[in-house]
Structure 1
Amino acid sequence: MKKIICALCIACGLSSCEEWFDIKPQTELVSNDFWQSKSDVESAVAACYRAFLEPDMMERLIVWGEVRSDNVLTGLNVSNDIYYILTANVDASNGYTKWEPVYRVINYCNTVLEKAPAVQQSDPNFKAGELRAYQAEAITLRALCYFYLVRTFKDVPFTTLSYKDDTRPFQLAQTDGDDIIDELLGELESISDNYAKAVYSNTGDTKGRITQKAMWALMADMYLWRNEYDKCIGMCERIQQTQSNPLQLEPSTRYNQQVFGAGNSSESIFELQFDTYTPNYVVNEMYGTTGGRSSVNHLSSLDFGEYQLFDGSDIRQYDAFYGSSSAAFIPIRKYVTYRLESSGNQVSASDYIVNQNTQDWIIYRLADVYLMEAEALVERNAGGDLEKAIRLVSNTYDRANPSRGTGSLKLQNYNSQELMRNLVFDERQREFLFEGKRYFDILRRVRRHGDLNNIVSTYLLRKYESQDQATVMTRLNTLNALYLPVNRDELKVNKLLKQNPFYATTGDIDRN
């Protein structure tokens, strides 16, 4: 936890909007004379986004949400930490149990929220509405960080105070994860109507900074996690009905190229902005075989042909991975290649070109809104609103199956809550393969229904088929086992932390 006590690293001054995401934080402590003008606050908010782009942060977005899921297997060459995760052999020494990169962003956000109001009082050019917009960005980014932490570790230290030096106590106990989410939602609810901007002056900022719709999408996701279905539906409807910052699904012929190639598509709500000056090396290392910083951590796709996730007509299987084969390694295609626009329904390998290093990373897009609402509709009562749910699922399914025409999903084939629940669950997997969402979807379902053994045996076990199944089941047989342990270094530094009970074995942690 002491590593969380880091300086807010800021670079001063922006000469153009295009430089917003190129801000590189400095390592020195923030000086007393930094917080003097609106431009200082703008630079500080930019540093919050910039910290999201750091490789150690990006690694966690993929490892925590994707590597632990049933989507991926070990690839050509992975580090020991990745290998242990992929073989259900995680302990408190694993590097990916360190949460420092996420708390770094939280600390930047906390500092903005503490310092910015006084700047607005002293700078006559800093308007109250501008302050509220910056506050909305910091509050939402902080909530997103805590949401990742809670879904990964369950109970974590929670603070809204910034740490600039050792004058504030760093010994913080964990707060119950559900309580953290509830508190964050209360804060977001208090600003959701009139703080965040609807749009910015350019597309890159509208898609790459927090807008109203980005805030609402996060709130919908958090409501779904807390099983507050009516509120989730309300947020999803608000996103679809609000006319400012209009969203629409890209057509089938342009979907892969625009969403994962060009980026900032018409359906994008919030995505992390990478370019040639700030490359997304991590995606290339984990999903590609060229263009990263090193030759390690190449992941393989599960052979989905064996599990019949995709209909033969579903073009997302070609967009996501290099087909089904008997080879031990099935390269992941999403993000690292994109499909050229085509007027036909047939897809071939020659349609794809490599997209090295510059891929944005999507946090929310319109497809997520449709499928979050569909899930909430199915779950909010015993019968569920199955008719509306299937219409929402059809938005993404029809696009991915153009040869079948619209309306190919028939309600008569999904006429019970359980059948529709599985349709939504599978459609989310098809649509968001390798986008860092699958493990959290699995965990959300286990938390909601308590059918851990069924979910583990049906989904998670298939990635461990080369291992002894009984041994794997003993490593995944309780809800706490689906969360990561607290890193042993954090336990040594912060005496108030308690280990996840599943990992708290006698003598496992040396606190001396």
Structure 2
Amino acid sequence: MEKTIYNKVQKVVKGVLPLSLLTFLPLLNSCNDFLDLKPQNEVVLENFWKEKADAASVLTSCYESLESNDALNRMLVWGELRSDNMKAGASTPNDLSEILKESLLPSNPYCNWGKFYECINRCNTVCYYAPQLQKIDPNYTEAEMKANVAEATTLRALAYFYLIRTFRDVPYCTVPSIDDRQNYVLPATKFDVVLDTLITDLESIKGDAVRRYFVDESPSAWQNSCKITRWAVYALLADLYLWKGEWDNAIKYCDLVIDYKRQQYNDMLQLYGNVNNIDLIDSIPMILEKPVGMTTCGNAYNEIFGEGNSFESIFELSFKSPQSTKNDMVSKFFGNQREPQGNLSASDLLFKDVAQGSNTLFKKTDGRAYEGGELSGSRYTICKYVRTNVSYRTNPVPSTEKDLALSKTLRSESEAYANWIIYRLSDMLLIKAEALIERGQGDDFDKAFALIDIVNKRANDAVGGTRSSTLKKTDYIDSKAAMEDLLIAERQREFLFEGKRWYDLVRLARRDGKNTRLVNLVTRKYQENVNALKIKLADPNIIYFPYAKSELKVNPLLKQNPAFLTGEDTELTK
């Protein structure tokens, strides 16, 4: 039965939902006989949207678009590659090398946004048809319909959020492709307009989203974080408000998620009596690197990145069995058991001489440095998501990397099931901290420092008084600039290789109104042509990707980012 429904969805989706809004019209010419029999909207209504299982099937296809390796590759490349976190690996393909060298061209395949618009179109279809379906299927309740629409609206907002952070202004549409008379050749909508619209959409559906799909003691409870819940909506809203600069709203939605995690923790204590692997760090329940009674660290990494769907997870794209889709992006870019060096490597500045105590980013007691990468030949390989588990001792404090006695297991190619995390508890703590710093009222700096310190303490295993914090409040709270630097550095430490660093720097540049801090941070990884790169990256337009050449050809209303105009592109945009 499920297979039949899935095949039916694929048949409809392939014909009715385009890979890109901008390439929809040419695709109409290749529709199969099934779709040529009647106008498309009649086909969909009469032959597919008949029962609530149809809505569930199309919703599943929305997730599948984002879980495709085409989308995952771009989440990583768009959000990380141009930052100071990454450099070339052992055999980096030319399309990635050109981005790393800031020689990005509209012909680069990573300028293609098709999978994100595929997700958007599928979400639009759910939002359009679900209310009609609810009227004809008595088993499809209004609450279920509204929850499905909330789910689709949030996934659509997430897809658009990736697009505007990458391209700035993008074609925006919430109408599904159900009628061949519709015009899908659209101009780009301004960044701020899209951002405001996404916030309005999420505010309108937040109360309809499911709180949780399974109770916490259920064996299936892990699935609560691999589908959109109300807490995922709140997390996305917090992030959107951060980009908009509405600090109070960003703080409000972070607090809602943080309070929920506190309640979850209290419920676990009531149910089990004690929880050895989670403890309060200054009132926030966090997964411990070294659980109570253990002598080794690595537990937080193992649960969050090795296993996935951890207590701290809010929303992540899941690749757990029995799902057949694999996350090949991790193997391709980072490495695996057979090929420990992927297409990309970590910048030397991240990990060089951490154990010797002379690294400027990580203290020698910070487990994130040892979990995130390691020296392999002349390069630092990326280990986050690659390892299924790690175990190491930090007592006594290591003087060299070998002193850690680090043991680890890497994923094999056949075990490419690493989840991809979109939001977790640390996001909420650091988004709130950033909003507090920018608001800067009363004791906001003290509150922001406390939140940053919680994240830092966990990583340095400073729990239960076993080690004091490695951060000194007096070094930071007297200056907004110092607090911002601390926040930026802590986000870099916490979210290494999670597709967030370049977006953090773009947000910083947008807030500053200039690229100076972005340029100074990014160019640290370069050894050659540094001055030329600084001049190039100073252009406020260049921090965004260009529109793909193929999109300019099919959409005359798109105007290329001026930082990437060539003679040929100028002709296309006239």
Give the alignment's TM-score, normalised by structure 2: 0.80
What is the CA–CA distance in structure 1 between the aligned matches of 2:187 and 2:569, rounded to whole Å?
20
1:61-100 matches, cutoff 5 A = 61-100=75-114
Alignment counterpart, residue 492 of structure 2, candidates 414, 429, 437: 429
Q: Is the 8 A contact 2:237 2:253 kept in 1?
A: yes
**Aligned residue number for residue 380 of structure 2:** 330
What is the CA–CA distance in structure 1 between the aligned matches of 2:137 and 2:338, rounded to whole Å?
45
**Aligned residue number for residue 377 of structure 1:** 436
Alignment counterpart, residue 315 of structure 1, candidates 367, 380, 388: 367
What is the CA–CA distance in structure 2 between the aligned matches of 1:24 and 1:243, rounded to whole Å?
36
1:107 paired with 2:126, answer no
**Aligned residue number for residue 252 of structure 1:** 289
Which stretch has the larger CA shift, 297-306 or 67-76?
Answer: 297-306
Q: Is the 8 A contact 2:185 2:557 kept in 1?
A: yes
Equivalent residue letter for 1:150: I
Residues 1:143 and 1:384: Cα distance change in structure 2 (over 3 Å): farther
| CA drift at 1:490 | 0.4
What is the CA–CA distance in structure 1 between the aligned matches of 2:240 and 2:309, rounded to whole Å?
23
Equivalent residue letter for 1:331: T
Residues 1:455 and 1:29: Cα distance change in structure 2 (over 3 Å): closer
1:393 paired with 2:452, answer yes
| CA drift at 1:470 | 2.3
**3-state SS, counterpart of residue 495 of structure 1:** coil
1:496-511 matches, cutoff 5 A = 496-508=557-569, 511=572
Per-residue deviation, residues 318-368 of structure 1 (Å, max 9, x unmatched): 010004x8x542100100014445686568364211124110000000011
| CA drift at 1:289 | 4.5
Q: Is the 8 A contact 2:392 2:405 kept in 1?
A: no
| CA drift at 1:79 | 1.4
**3-state SS, counterpart of residue 372 of structure 1:** helix
| CA drift at 1:238 | 1.0
Q: Is the 8 A contact 1:377 1:384 kept in 2?
A: no
Equivalent residue letter for 1:485: P
Residues 1:28 and 1:218: Cα distance change in structure 2 (over 3 Å): closer
What is the CA–CA distance in structure 1 between the aligned matches of 2:538 and 2:487, rounded to whole Å?
25
**Aligned residue number for residue 200 of structure 1:** 213
| CA drift at 1:483 | 0.4
**Aligned residue number for residue 471 of structure 1:** 532
- Percent identical pairs in the alignment equals 38
**Aligned residue number for residue 250 of structure 2:** 232
Q: Is the 8 A contact 1:185 1:219 kept in 2?
A: yes
**Aligned residue number for residue 299 of structure 1:** 345
**3-state SS, counterpart of residue 542 of structure 2:** helix
| CA drift at 1:51 | 1.1
| CA drift at 1:422 | 0.9
**3-state SS, counterpart of residue 322 of structure 1:** strand
What RMSD, in angstroms, separates the aligned Cα atoms of the two structures? 2.5
| CA drift at 1:205 | 2.4
What is the CA–CA distance in structure 1 between the aligned matches of 2:145 and 2:484, rounded to whole Å?
42
Q: Which has the larger radius of gyration?
A: 2
Residue-pair matches, total: 490
Equivalent residue letter for 2:502: Y
Residues 1:165 and 1:91: Cα distance change in structure 2 (over 3 Å): farther
**3-state SS, counterpart of residue 450 of structure 2:** helix
**Aligned residue number for residue 294 of structure 2:** none
What is the CA–CA distance in structure 1 between the aligned matches of 2:15 and 2:3, rounded to whole Å?
11
What is the CA–CA distance in structure 1 between the aligned matches of 2:336 and 2:60, rounded to whole Å?
31
**3-state SS, counterpart of residue 29 of structure 1:** helix
1:414 paired with 2:428, answer no
**Aligned residue number for residue 7 of structure 1:** none
**Aligned residue number for residue 448 of structure 1:** 511
Q: Is the 8 A contact 1:12 1:40 kept in 2?
A: no
Give the alignment's TM-score, normalised by structure 1: 0.90
Q: Is the 8 A contact 1:383 1:417 kept in 2?
A: no
| CA drift at 1:504 | 2.0
| CA drift at 1:244 | 9.0
What is the CA–CA distance in structure 1 between the aligned matches of 2:338 and 2:129, rounded to whole Å?
39
**3-state SS, counterpart of residue 106 of structure 1:** helix
Q: Is the 8 A contact 1:155 1:175 kept in 2?
A: yes
Alignment counterpart, residue 281 of structure 1, candidates 296, 311, 328: 328
| CA drift at 1:451 | 4.2
**Aligned residue number for residue 460 of structure 1:** 522
**Aligned residue number for residue 126 of structure 1:** 140
Equivalent residue letter for 2:301: N
What is the CA–CA distance in structure 1 between the aligned matches of 2:488 and 2:101, rounded to whole Å?
24
1:217 paired with 2:269, answer no
Q: Is the 8 A contact 2:315 2:424 kept in 1?
A: yes
What is the CA–CA distance in structure 2 between the aligned matches of 1:23 and 1:298, rounded to whole Å?
39
| CA drift at 1:402 | 1.8
| CA drift at 1:12 | 4.9
What is the CA–CA distance in structure 1 between the aligned matches of 2:242 and 2:8, rounded to whole Å?
34
Where does structure 1 lack aligned partners over 5 or more consecutive residues?
1-9, 15-21
1:132-151 matches, cutoff 5 A = 132-151=146-165
What is the CA–CA distance in structure 1 between the aligned matches of 2:443 and 2:120, rounded to whole Å?
37
Equivalent residue letter for 2:313: S
Equivalent residue letter for 1:302: D
1:485-504 matches, cutoff 5 A = 485-504=546-565
Per-residue deviation, residues 250-295 of structure 1 (Å, max 9, x unmatched): 1113101000011110100000011352111111110114569x99
What is the CA–CA distance in structure 1 between the aligned matches of 2:288 and 2:336, rounded to whole Å?
29
1:253-268 matches, cutoff 5 A = 253=290, 254-268=299-313
What is the CA–CA distance in structure 2 between the aligned matches of 1:440 and 1:195, rounded to whole Å?
29
Q: Is the 8 A contact 2:146 2:209 kept in 1?
A: yes
1:351 paired with 2:407, answer yes
What is the CA–CA distance in structure 2 between the aligned matches of 1:165 and 1:85, rounded to whole Å?
38
Per-residue deviation, residues 383-414 of structure 1 (Å, max 9, x unmatched): 76111111111111001112672544332121
**Aligned residue number for residue 18 of structure 1:** none
What is the CA–CA distance in structure 2 between the aligned matches of 1:305 and 1:61, rounded to whole Å?
23
Equivalent residue letter for 2:317: L
What is the CA–CA distance in structure 1 between the aligned matches of 2:14 and 2:517, rounded to whole Å?
51
Q: Is the 8 A contact 2:86 2:344 kept in 1?
A: no
**Aligned residue number for residue 17 of structure 1:** none
What is the CA–CA distance in structure 1 between the aligned matches of 2:157 and 2:263, rounded to whole Å?
22
**3-state SS, counterpart of residue 15 of structure 2:** coil
What is the CA–CA distance in structure 2 between the aligned matches of 1:184 and 1:125, rounded to whole Å?
31
Residues 1:231 and 1:215: Cα distance change in structure 2 (over 3 Å): same
Residues 1:62 and 1:113: Cα distance change in structure 2 (over 3 Å): same
Residues 1:244 and 1:115: Cα distance change in structure 2 (over 3 Å): farther
What is the CA–CA distance in structure 1 between the aligned matches of 2:388 and 2:467, rounded to whole Å?
23
**3-state SS, counterpart of residue 303 of structure 1:** helix
| CA drift at 1:495 | 0.5
